[in-house]
Amino acid sequence: MPAVIQNDVPMRGKGVYGMNSGQQHSAMLNALPLISNSVAESWGKRSYADRPFTIVEYGCSDGKNSVEPVAAALRPLLHAKCVQIFLNDRPENDFAATSKNVEKIEENGEKDGIRAFTAMVPKNFYKQVLPPNSADVGFSLMSVHYVNTLPPLRAGEGALDASRRETKQEIWEKDFCSFLVLRASELVPGSSLVLSFLSNPPEGETNFEVVNESLRWAQQEMIREDILSQDFIRQFELPTHYPSPERVREKVTSVGDWEIKDLFQQEIKHPAVQELKERRAKRDDAKDLEWYANTVIDWFMAVISGYFLKTLLITHGEKLDEEQRERVLEDWKVRSKKRFLAEHKDAKVSTWLVFVRLQKH
């Protein structure tokens, strides 16, 4: 067994993630002022002209939710002749899907009279992504709560055990500090880094618990029918940690390269919550509740499907080929939707995020 398990699972490809990322889009909108302000500050005090103004996104996925942040970044760049934009994600990412959004990004620059040159960088952002002192503004939205590697589960330990959660917290804190050090080497002095990522909710609040309950219930039903094994349940996990705002502040301060300009926590409701409310104000149609269940489950599945399939390969690999694993995934998705519709119907689905704007010393 390997000493560490590499987090090499991308978001669902072929445009599926982008089509089901309404929640990420809503969260992204809250980061736009931070990005725009960061660019305006960096552009206003720029004292060199030996290279184009450079913007980098860490964790772009298929690029659908990159279009608006980059547009917000381009608007303050008055009289800029050209701008470099780097879209970064892991090598396993579906960059074919990302490339389809590059044209939209560059068209936004043209509207403001800016020639934008966009490049995709297939590299793990827990490594050096760009040369030293080569970028003016960086941002990463809904990505930094993922850890880079995890150790195998200990004997008798389950993925949901408290000991495992503690392990993931320790690893996330090290990875986050490493991320900040790497970005400090890539961005010029006085530049800004804007981050948003899932956070531990305030007391009494939860992150998408009604979705989690539906997924877990469906898994248990599949165990009873001998479709999934107990070993699958023991090993299935997301390589994530959701820190508190206080812990984020502590870790940023410990690195020493950054000054915190903005740091706040905010609840982001899934946009389907409001749309369902508006639909039901006009009519009483069961199809709207079905639409809501489909929407919120498909959103989560677009994020976690790869981890489900990877665990299924590890625990059922000899019994199931790739097509069969996809059918099991689809079965899980259908059961989860039925559970959500039966037990949660119009329950609020939301996530708590930390938003941070940092400035490099």
Residues 6+ apart with CB under 8 A from 327: none
Give alpha helix (H) positions in the chain. 16-19, 22-44, 67-74, 95-111, 162-186, 209-224, 230-235, 245-255, 271-282, 286-316, 322-343
Q: What is the pLDDT of residue 1?
A: 45
**Cα–Cα distance measured from residue 191 to residue 196, given in angstroms and rounded to the nearest whole number:** 17
At the top level of CATH, which class does the domain 10-201+238-269+349-360 belong to? Answer: alpha beta
Q: What is the pLDDT of residue 19?
A: 86
Q: What is the pLDDT of residue 167?
A: 96
- CB burial string 282-294: b at 16+ within 10 A, e below: eeeeeebbeebbb
**Torsion 316-293-241-216 (CA) sign:** negative
Q: How do residues 188-247 score in pLDDT, each as one tens digit?
A: 999 999 999 999 999 989 899 999 999 999 999 999 999 999 999 999 999 999 999 999
Three-state DSSP class for residue 85: strand
| Global confidence as pTM | 0.94
Q: How do residues 238-272 score in pLDDT, each as one tens digit?
A: 999 999 999 999 999 999 999 999 999 999 999 99
